[in-house]
Amino acid sequence: DGGITQSPKYLFRKEGQNVTLSCEQNLNHDAMYWYRQDPGQGLRLIYYSQIVNDFQKGDIAEGYSVSREKKESFPLTVTSAQKNPTAFYLCASSILAEPGNTIYFGEGSWLTVV
């Protein structure tokens, strides 16, 4: 089945640790995105990539890093510099990077700092 796969579903991080969330898509989409969702707030864009080997900061990129070495993969690293990382993280993709292309979401990853 085609889709967007995120792993792990649940992740616990100790203070000061870096963690990486995986995102893989087999939809042959050019563009990929990472959003963060906090209770009572809308989804906020962390990073996006319009094409392989390219990525841009979104609205809340501080404390996060990404790579886009393959079309199918867009992993997100939450670094120790992110002061409040506990949230629901959503990876997404669209066929093209032009405005108006429908963005499809993965199932999400819950990150909790312990």
- Site for another protein, rule CB under 8 A: 31, 33, 40-45, 48, 50, 56, 58, 88, 90, 94, 96-108, 110
The smaller minimum CB distance to another protein, of residues 13 and 44, is found at 44
Within 8 A by CB and 6+ apart from 100, the residues are none
From residue 55, how far is each of 15, 31, 76 by CA, in Å? 27, 9, 12
Cα separation, 101 vs 93, in Å, equals 10
Q: Give the nearest distance from C-beta 16 to another protein in angstroms.
A: 28
Longest Cα separation, the chain: 39
The smaller minimum CB distance to another protein, of residues 85 and 106, is found at 106
Q: Give the nearest distance from C-beta 70 to another protein in angstroms.
A: 19
Q: Give the nearest distance from C-beta 8 to another protein in angstroms.
A: 15
The smaller minimum CB distance to another protein, of residues 16 and 99, is found at 99
The smaller minimum CB distance to another protein, of residues 45 and 77, is found at 45
71 in Cβ contact with 97 (< 8 Å) = no
